[in-house]
Structure 1
Amino acid sequence: MLGNLTRRVGHYRWFGATARLLVPADRVIGRLTRGRVVALGLMPSLVITTTGRRSGKPRSNPLLYVRDDDAYVVIGSNWGQTHHPGWAMNVLADPAATVDVKGRRIPVRADLASGAERDRLWQLLVAAWPAYRTYVQRAGGREIHIFRLVPTGRGEPAARPPAG
């Protein structure tokens, strides 16, 4: 029920602004639960860790995802802002990343979807989160990147957060 409500309000501009403010808290919750709970547990979510394209440091972000066979499909919607999110720019520069999902840390390769595959994945994404259509309009029609995160290894239990 709460997930359905969230899907409905996801179209409103205030929701995107509010949700952006919650991302830092979501990162902490994701780290403390080793990726088991992100996006307030309302939608299938993961934490992606990329390498900063300028800093070279690890950067972690919670994201909604849909499954496509063994891969995780994510979108660089940035809540409908006119610029791409940093994590998307990071995987364009270096497609090697890890995801924490359901308590497992899995190495992945981020493949940018295009053409018919992008169209197919778009349909999966908007079925899960219809507000993505609104985000495209808000972003001024800019191409929003869709990535297929393909596992490159078996994965292992997500690391416990540091004490304290």
Structure 2
Amino acid sequence: MPDGNDRRPPRLPRRRLVRLFWSAHRRVYRLTRGRVGLWRPKGRRWGTMCLTTVGRRTGRERGVIVAYLEDGGNLVALAMNGWADAEPAWWLNLREHPDARVELKGGPRLVRARAASGPERERLWARWRQTEARLDDLAALRSRETAVVVLEPREPVAGR
């Protein structure tokens, strides 16, 4: 009989199911023209936003639904791909083209992305840990550190 200290690694749904869920979520958001599918973070629950990046290879806009927390005027996301080992395409796109657009429950916002580091990363990771008790166990499933992505507000560029 296992003792109380037995910590089994978390079991994740099959990759295909995770992709299907987020694809369906994005489809509902698009079909309802944004009326359904986004929510603000509340208490210990994360919110969802539609993040539009510029593709690093195609140069075309790409939209994805991403979980986020608020940190003052910034939005904070984890660059995880359903906890799969590969980096999410949206994060690879932001590293190449950090300017992006988000749709929030309260309306659109222009942002610039960067990875948090040092004490800021530790503080933001701790905030995410409040929403997901097994965050560290889930992150340990990946061979690389999960980036904590800070989306800072930016002003529109004249002529765009």
* Length-normalised TM-score, structure 2: 0.78
The residue that corresponds to 2:108 in the other structure is: 105
Higher normalized contact order (CA 8 Å, seq sep 6+, divided by chain length): 1
Distance 1:90 1:53 in 2: 5
The residue that corresponds to 2:149 in the other structure is: 147
Higher helix share: 1
Letter of the structure 2 residue corresponding to residue 152 of structure 1: R
The residue that corresponds to 1:23 in the other structure is: 22
Distance 1:16 1:135 in 2: 14
Letter of the structure 2 residue corresponding to residue 20 of structure 1: R
Q: Deviations over 1:34-77 (max 9, x none)?
A: 275248x9841111000000011111111111110011100111
- The CA RMSD measured in Å over matched residues stands at 2.3
Aligned residues: 142
How far off is 1:18 after superposition?
2.3
Does residue 1:86 correspond to 2:89, yes or no?
Answer: yes
Asked whether the equivalents of residues 80 and 146 of structure 2 are also in contact (C-alpha less than 8 Å), the reply is yes
Which one has a bigger Cα radius of gyration?
A: 2
The residue that corresponds to 1:74 in the other structure is: 77
How far off is 1:33 after superposition?
4.4
In structure 2, do the counterparts of structure 1 residues 139 and 47 end up closer, same or farther at CA, with 3 Å as the change threshold?
Answer: same
Letter of the structure 1 residue corresponding to residue 151 of structure 2: L
Asked whether the equivalents of residues 85 and 142 of structure 2 are also in contact (C-alpha less than 8 Å), the reply is yes
Distance 2:134 2:50 in 1: 20
